[in-house]
Amino acid sequence: MIEVTLCMGSSCFSRGNEAALRSLEDFIEREGLSDRVSLRGEHCMGNCAQGPNIRINGELYQNQHPGGIIELVNHFLEARNDI
């Protein structure tokens, strides 16, 4: 299971994680990945100046845009042969 956590603090949310959340939800549903990708939010990751922030399997990624987040998730899925 790939665990994706989006920062939902006001800074990250307004800087792109609102769109990233919608994109990830659509991607997971469209690709039938709900049994392979866990998506959740966290109030604040404490790195507001470098946001929007996301964690995948505990690894922090900063200054991410929605398309880049989809690419990261795909990378993790491919690495685990989950696609």
Rounded to an integer, the average pLDDT of 18-30 is 95
- CATH class entry, domain 2-63: alpha beta
Six-digit token string for 30: 């469209």
Tell me the pTM. Answer: 0.89
CA dihedral 48, 34, 79, 44 (to 10 degrees): 10
Residue 16 CA: distances (Å) to CA of 1, 2, 9, 67, 81: 24, 21, 11, 10, 28
Sorted by sequence, the CB contacts under 8 Å of residue 48 that are 6+ apart come out as: 9, 11, 12
Question: Of 49, 43, 75, 77, nearest to 62 (Cα)?
Answer: 49
Digit-coded pLDDT (tens) for 26-67:
999 999 999 999 999 999 999 899 999 999 999 999 999 888
